[in-house]
Chain A
């Protein structure tokens, strides 16, 4: 086999890609919080998120 290390690297990467697709992995990571209070449904305005940034964080784009 030519380039056994590169071929193995490529095969592993593609296998990882397949698993990532099957499991729905993406590079994006939202803040995950466990056991939030059920009152969120009754009083959604009182809920305070734990995340700081995901994409954009209040630094809004301006026009040209």
Chain B
């Protein structure tokens, strides 16, 4: 864009100088001094509306500022503050009109630090309805209806290619497909559609060379892109890859685990009245060979509505190292008003970690509370047995990051739609 062509005029209301940047494109121009809206087509600048705004606003992009947006030069020529009233609360946003003599007009909107680059689209898109909720298909994207409201113009500054007035109203409908937003503005005279694309504020600041840093965006905007949703999706895919690797490892383990029985014995508990210590015994010595591996001790006792408890000590004969542990076997069953029930099991399995090769024996002290005075039990010791626990633990740990990211994405979506016509609180209000 070459040097700006500017026509200098004088405000008939206050006599202040007015610069006309869009020349013959402008239909109305606002005097920056007194705020009067003037007819730009009238050589005498007929006053269309005297200053009516209740409050003066200062644009963040000063009018006349030129910048490069998406590779094209644009000049800020108009500024208006518009707003909607929802449940008695006014929500205002800024609209900047940008001009390029070869490209025409485009807009920048700003709400709570969220910026959108907006262009008017010529053809009205096709609207559909699903479950009573309107949506629009445009360029292969589905835009979901977000909000319908009546927007009012509260403040204007600069020049516009239409006859702008403070107090102008239009029914607006927004449809979102982040990072895009499709907006319809309907007045009795015309209906216009525009397509907005969410832009980081830093990009606006850089494009127009604005001083300082842009204010931080607050909340989640209607078409603000959700960085977490695609992240959660691709992390879930990566998780599935990990699951496949772990399943392969489980299968490999099931095939390669030796499950070697190193000791087995059958015994019986039949002296319920005897002192507990006198029931302790030691098993014959047995050999655990091979690399350091886990050792499984299985206890199977024929308990019927009773329990047995086994105090174990696995003793390495050479080093004197002892692994002490206690195991309970209990099994209860019966029938009540709910039907048959059972609790516990007659079989117990304990897996000792990292038992090195060596010569071992077991010291066993059984205790029991059973209806009969005789209880048969069997103890089996096997080395290198597969266990699912570490794999499940690993799968759970690996699932945590994608779950956390998915929760974050869900939180963002929830915050987005909380501001829409479809927020749960809005439904409640409608019911009242």
Contact = CB atoms under 8 A, between A and B. Distances in A.
Contacts of A20: 390
Interface string A1-37: 0110011011001101110111111111111111110
Contacts of A62: 332
B330 A60 contact: yes
Given A17-B246, A30-B325, A34-B321, A2 B330 contact: no
Contact of B343 (A27, A58, A61): A61
B185 to A, nearest CB: 41
A40 B315 contact: yes
B305 A63 contact: yes
B354 to A, nearest CB: 5
B277 A45 contact: yes
A17 to B, nearest CB: 5
Interface in A33-64: 33-36, 38, 40-41, 44-47, 49-51, 53-58, 60-64
B324 A50 contact: yes
B235 A63 contact: no
Contact of B313 (A3, A40, A60): A40
Nearest to B328: A56
Given A17-B246, A49-B313, A60-B307, A29 B369 contact: no
Interface string B31-75: 000000000000000000000000000000000000000000000
B365 A44 contact: yes
Nearest to A23: B354
Interface residues of B, number: 68
Interface string B298-321: 000000010101010111000111
B315 A24 contact: no
A28 B361 CA distance: 20
Contacts of B389: 26-27
Given A20-B390, A26-B352, A58-B309, 8 more contacts: A25-B390, A26-B389, A26-B390, A34-B321, A40-B363, A45-B277, A45-B280, A60-B309
A24 B330 CA distance: 28
Interface in B258-315: 277-282, 291-295, 305, 307, 309, 311, 313-315
21 contacts: A3-B231, A6-B401, A14-B246, A25-B294, A26-B352, A26-B387, A30-B325, A31-B323, A31-B325, A32-B321, A35-B319, A35-B321, A40-B313, A41-B282, A51-B326, A53-B326, A54-B350, A56-B309, A61-B328, A63-B305, A63-B333
